[in-house]
Amino acid sequence: MDDLSFEAPTGEITVLVGPSGCGKTTSLRMINRMIDASEGRILLDGVPVQGIDPPTLRRGIGYVIQQAGLFPHRKIVDNIATVPYLLGWDRKKARARAMELLERVGLDPALAGRYPFQLSGGQQQRVGVARALAADPPVLLMDEPFSAVDPIVRTSLQDELLRLQSELNKTIVFVTHDIDEAIKLGDRVAVLRVGGRLAQLADPKTLLAEPADDFVREFLGHDRGIRRLQFVSTEGLRLRTDLTVPEGSDGGSPEPWLLVVDGDGRPVGWRSAVRPGELEPYGTFVRGRDSMRAALDAALLSPSGCSVAVDEQGKVVGVATRDALDRALSEAVHG
Amino acid sequence: MSWLTAFLGWLGEFFGDGANWTGSDGIPARLLEHLEFSALALALAVLVAVPLGLAIGHTGRGGVLVVVAANLARALPTLGLLVMFVLLLGASSIWPVIIPLVLLAVPPILVNTYEGIKGVDPELRDAAYGMGLRGGQVLGRVLVPVALPLILLGCRLSAIQVVATTTVAAYTGLGGLGRYVIDGFATKDYASVVGGSVLIVLFALFVQVVFALVQRLTVSPGVSRRLTIR
């Protein structure tokens, strides 16, 4: 670790990412003094952490680690209440708080009385997050918390974290070696190179668009262009509403493709002018919520080359044609 | 089957003799003596070995010393040690017998306590410190409960050894159940030898049951994984 300096803004997720040996975990552990920095200062809310008694400091900072690190001899509810107990909360109050958090992280309250070994890896990790949040610390340190679970569970844990963060607005420092995770979760991403040197610190969009050097470019990997699109909104995408027809109608239209919609306004399939008897598959994106990447992906899923814009309820709000997608893409790339 | 008949005959003779159930050399008195010597030696060994094992396991300092000392101690010949202490200290008190019993009982407890604490998943230790537990809290609230099965295993191994060695200690003129066997051989009273042996076996089984109960009551189901998923 040498000459590393950065700021993790209040209420935001700052992700430290880099290859193994880049010192990202070491940096994280210096914040709660699991490792003491030999030189330099770490300020928490303007106060140097080096001046705070480590256990006291740590009780005020949530800490989530890779394997969750739950206490095997304690029930889930008591695991979550660990820090409240340490802070001397009344047992009843601590347990009530633990139950509240159990639900908050999306777990069945019936799990409260179980022991960690009775839970799946994903459930244990959720408990780990709940435990870190128990005393409502303003700061959360997360050290590769989702890297030991399978990809599907990892995705749902990431979504859950973003949902929680939108409610809680914690200051989170998150360590990962997975650049996709960094880009998905980070408000700001710090890319570290071996030796703990900061290669680039930027929001994910800027990182993808303007990598500072070859190291960052290489670390970001393939599909940088496509991945940038996940930061482009579909809000301004021009939609056509004249390409939908209700189910059952045979409508003689000059258009080569028409989207058949059921009575509730949900898409059924594309009908081509060439073979009107068969419906072809379609792809959808939620307008405004999903990114251009999703819109483009939806277009590629259908032989029509168009993607279907739906609202949160899944009802069709319009169709983005190739032309419209093309225009939006060139605007995104050229500004 | 004549040996079985003879065996049962001796058992009947030993346990059926009313005189064997009363007085200072009766079965209750001998059982109590055996229990007292064993329990005293084990308690002293636990008092020495558990705190030492916890300290060394938790701080990580002196681990090599534990292993070397324990292996040396294991190599000590039981009977030789007993005889040596009796010769050195005389046979007037129980200490010449208790001291070697303690010396024998310490290593298994020490080694298992040390290994138990040292063997706790480093992630767990890390999480405990990261939550803000202090060193002593990490030991008492996390490491000991998780290492408890191994610590108890050490105690049980020592208890078995102590119970067995207390029998041999009758050689030095001490009481306990060993008296029946040793005196029986000396006087060719085979009923006494057989009866005494059976009592010793039952006593050892009793100790096992006690430890199983203690384990059941003190080890968290989350550690022993006793529960099945509901």
Residue B73 domain-assigned?
A: yes
For residue B197, give its domain range: 21-221
Closest residue on chain A to B229 (Cα): A118
Q: Taking CB atoms and an 8 Å cutoff, what residues of chain B touch A175?
A: none
Position B2 scores a pLDDT of 83
The CATH superfamily label for domain A13-231 reads: P-loop containing nucleotide triphosphate hydrolases (3.40.50.300)
Pinpoint the alpha helices (H) of chain A. Answer: 24-31, 54-59, 76-80, 82-86, 91-104, 121-133, 151-168, 179-185, 204-209, 214-220, 224-228, 292-300, 322-334
CB atoms within 10 A of CB A265: 15
pLDDT tens sequence across B21-56: 888 888 999 999 999 999 999 999 999 999 999 999
More confident residue, A292 or B169: A292
Residue in A66, A71, A124, A117 with CA at minimum distance from that of residue B146: A71
Cα end-to-end distance, chain A, whole Å: 38
CB contact under 8 A, B124 and A83: no
Q: Taking CB atoms and an 8 Å cutoff, what residues of chain B touch A58?
A: 129-132
Fold classified for A244-334: CBS-domain (3.10.580)
Number of domains chain B is built from: 1
Q: Which of the given ranges, A226-230, A269-273, B79-83, has the highest pLDDT on average?
A: A269-273
- CA–CA min distance B112, chain A (Å): 19
Look at the alpha carbons of B80, B81, B83, B84 in this order and tell me if their dihedral is positive or negative.
Answer: positive
CB contact under 8 A, B227 and A116: no
Closest residue on chain A to B137 (Cα): A86
Query: What is the total residue count of chain A?
Result: 335
Q: Which of B131, B145, B146 sits opposite A63 (nearest CB)?
A: B131
Residue B68: is its pLDDT beyond 90? no
Half-sphere exposure of A115 (CA within 13 A, CB side): 17
CB contact under 8 A, A71 and B123: no
Rounded CA separation A137/A154 (Å): 24
Residue B1 domain-assigned?
A: no
> pLDDT-based confidence at A225, cuts 50/70/90?
confident
CB contact under 8 A, A65 and B229: no
Q: Taking CB atoms and an 8 Å cutoff, what residues of chain B touch A117?
A: 222, 225
Domain boundaries, given as residue ranges, for chain A: 13-231, 244-334
pLDDT tens sequence across A159-195: 999 999 999 999 999 999 999 999 999 999 999 988 8
* Tokens coding B11: 């058992």
Q: Which of B132, B145, B221 sits opposite A83 (nearest CB)?
A: B132
Average pLDDT over residues B87-107: 86
Residue B6 domain-assigned?
A: no
| Fold match flag (A13-231 vs A244-334) | no
* Tokens coding B83: 């005889």
Three-class SS string for A15-81? Answer: EEECCCCCCHHHHHHHHCCCCCCCCCCCEECCEEHHHCCHHHHHHCEEEECCCCCCCCCCCHHHHHC
Instruction: Give the position of tokens 């001046």.
Output: A51
Helices and strands (H and E) in chain B: how many = 11, 0
User: The domain that contains B144 carries what CATH number?
Assistant: 1.10.3720.10
ipTM of the complex: 0.84
Q: Taking CB atoms and an 8 Å cutoff, what residues of chain A touch B127?
A: 63, 65, 68-71
Q: Taking CB atoms and an 8 Å cutoff, what residues of chain A touch B126?
A: 34, 65, 69
Residue B78 domain-assigned?
A: yes
CB contact under 8 A, B132 and A58: yes
CB contact under 8 A, A69 and B126: yes
How would you list the strands of the sheet with A13-17, edge to edge?
Answer: A61-64, A139-143, A171-176, A13-17, A188-193, A197-202
Q: Taking CB atoms and an 8 Å cutoff, what residues of chain B touch A131?
A: 131
pLDDT tens sequence across A245-259: 888 776 667 888 999
Residue B71 domain-assigned?
A: yes
| Cα B210 from chain centroid (whole Å) | 11
The burial of B181, by beta-carbon neighbours within 10 Å (0-12 exposed, 13-18 middle, 19 or more buried), is given as: buried
- CA–CA min distance B141, chain A (Å): 9
